[in-house]
Structure 1
């Protein structure tokens, strides 16, 4: 069977030139900068030291600038938290399979971790159950994780329920990790939002959302006007999560589509506000062509520090 990791690498090199890969490496490494490090000692400030490393209280007592020195923990644990419910077997915004985008995104993150010598683990599942593969190093282990994701996302599985996987991590996994969530597009309810908040308090959390397909996939190439129920090439859509059929003629109706797009825009605003309030960096993946860019964007957003609990936005207002 062809290697999934090789497929991920080939796509990375297609969509990312050498400079982009270097930037990706830098952004990934910056996630742990100043974190997962053990305090060593205080010493006098010298030109070139980071201003953020200055210990201002010790400086005030000493009378001259002192900076904190740390001993870096060289090996970190990265956890891929992947929605493998049947919702992820549906079609994505680009028309590709959501499963393929999930494997691709997990592969990019895992490959970056391997390049940095970090361990990678996996929690995945649906509304009924969660599965865990402990963190290990090496590309052979990463290949196993990608195959696990690829083989468990099917149209015959149970519906998605990412709250179950969030709860599993909070209950059973100890130690601070970088957690990258790869999930279906949804609006978290109060229970899920609370789990996200608790997870964010314990770990570094990044979130990649795989965007849903159009209400009527392919309508852009067929045109907005379809004459007659028997128009050739016209297929009804199905909501994979609920199994509900969506007649194409209804989905293609201009007023229905406008109402749907308005509702989705409102949902997107609520989702964005929630992620900002929780301080979780999130990006939405539409297709394989933008996976590398979205991984870079979410790493950069996390490094720059999305306003979260206890932080203030650039406008000086409390983000919570």
Structure 2
């Protein structure tokens, strides 16, 4: 039984993201993603400038004037949200946790897809597959996805991106759009990601908290790795310690982004407490421009 407060939270996210999709993302999703191909729509009389290769000779033969075939892009997509639920996603030092940010993002993506008549599926993973929801349509389906994003209690604690990517690649029957949502605190997933990206349109979404990049001067603190439980003592009053902390994060982020560049993947970067809609809209516009 889902607690009443959780149900209210699910409903609030649905209402807020529905308005954001209507007001800010209308049309962007449709123009950013290609369908599976083109399909026949109708015929009309030939006009000067039409491609003669489009002439429908059967209809033309039955008429006293030439007709051409018109086609439209087949728009229905299969969209999958591949979401990392490892314990590091519980970090949040600015208004919200990374997991809350992921839930809002997932709701926005799912709502955008549904409003474009696309199917949406969900795979939640840690160092194992935690939950899968088959791709379907409809507002009730979006509510279920939001519920799982907020309410699923993972068994695993660590991050194995390979698990989520391999499962999706193995189970997706046709080419799909996949949003790979994680803080990417993992390694050794390049080969798996490369293989999956050959078949699918994979979009990495990097979620992070500002304290992962810089540590404030708050004296001596004890830090615990959420995924391994390892404890370390850090003197944040030391400029050298803070600089090393920031440099380590910078190196890790640079290596991750170089990997995306090698695979020709364009990531979306989001931060807790920050805007979600504008980075998505900007990304959709960039995709449309590249097309």
TM-score tier after normalising by the smaller chain length = 0.7 to 0.9
Q: Distance in 2 between matches of 1:301 and 1:275?
A: 16
Could you say what secondary structure the match of 1:281 adopts? coil
Q: TM-score, normalised by structure 1?
A: 0.72
Distance 1:174 1:132, change over 3 A: same
- Counterpart pick for 1:276 among 257, 261, 264: 261
- Counterpart pick for 1:201 among 176, 198, 203: 198
Residue 82 of structure 2 corresponds to: 81
Please list the CA deviations of residues 88-128 of structure 1 after superposition, one character each: whole Å capped at 9, or x if unmatched: 22x14636211111101101101111211211111111112
- Counterpart pick for 1:6 among 5, 11, 14: 11
- Counterpart pick for 2:281 among 296, 301, 320: 296
Aligned-residue offset at 1:130: 4.6
Q: Distance in 2 between matches of 1:279 and 1:184?
A: 19
Please list the CA deviations of residues 135-181 of structure 1 after superposition, one character each: whole Å capped at 9, or x if unmatched: 11111111111211222255x64312121010011112211111111
Distance 1:145 1:9, change over 3 A: closer
Please list the CA deviations of residues 231-272 of structure 1 after superposition, one character each: whole Å capped at 9, or x if unmatched: xxxx5332201212233x524421011012112222222222
Q: How does 1:95-244 map to 2 (within 5 A)?
A: 96-153=96-153, 157-186=156-185, 188-189=187-188, 192-214=189-211, 219=216, 224=217, 226=219, 236-244=222-230
Q: Distance in 1 between matches of 2:187 and 2:229?
A: 21
Q: Distance in 1 between matches of 2:93 and 2:258?
A: 22
Q: Distance in 1 between matches of 2:135 and 2:289?
A: 27
Residue 26 of structure 2 corresponds to: 25
Task: Give 5+ residue unaligned stretches, structure 1.
Answer: 59-67, 230-234, 307-320
Distance 1:165 1:107, change over 3 A: same
- List structure 1 segments (4+ residues) > 6 angstroms apart after TM superposition: 43-47
Q: TM-score, normalised by structure 2?
A: 0.78
**How many positions carry a matched residue from both structures?**
271
Distance 1:185 1:93, change over 3 A: farther
Residue 232 of structure 2 corresponds to: 246
Residues 79, 176 of structure 2: 8 Å contact kept: yes
Could you say what secondary structure the match of 1:132 adopts? strand
Residues 185, 211 of structure 1: 8 Å contact kept: no
Over aligned residues, Cα RMSD in angstroms? 3.5
Q: Distance in 2 between matches of 1:134 and 1:8?
A: 21
Distance 1:115 1:45, change over 3 A: same
Please list the CA deviations of residues 44-84 of structure 1 after superposition, one character each: whole Å capped at 9, or x if unmatched: 9988x9xxxx9xxx8xxxxxxxxx96433242211111112
Residues 130, 168 of structure 1: 8 Å contact kept: no
Task: Give 5+ residue unaligned stretches, structure 2.
Answer: 54-68
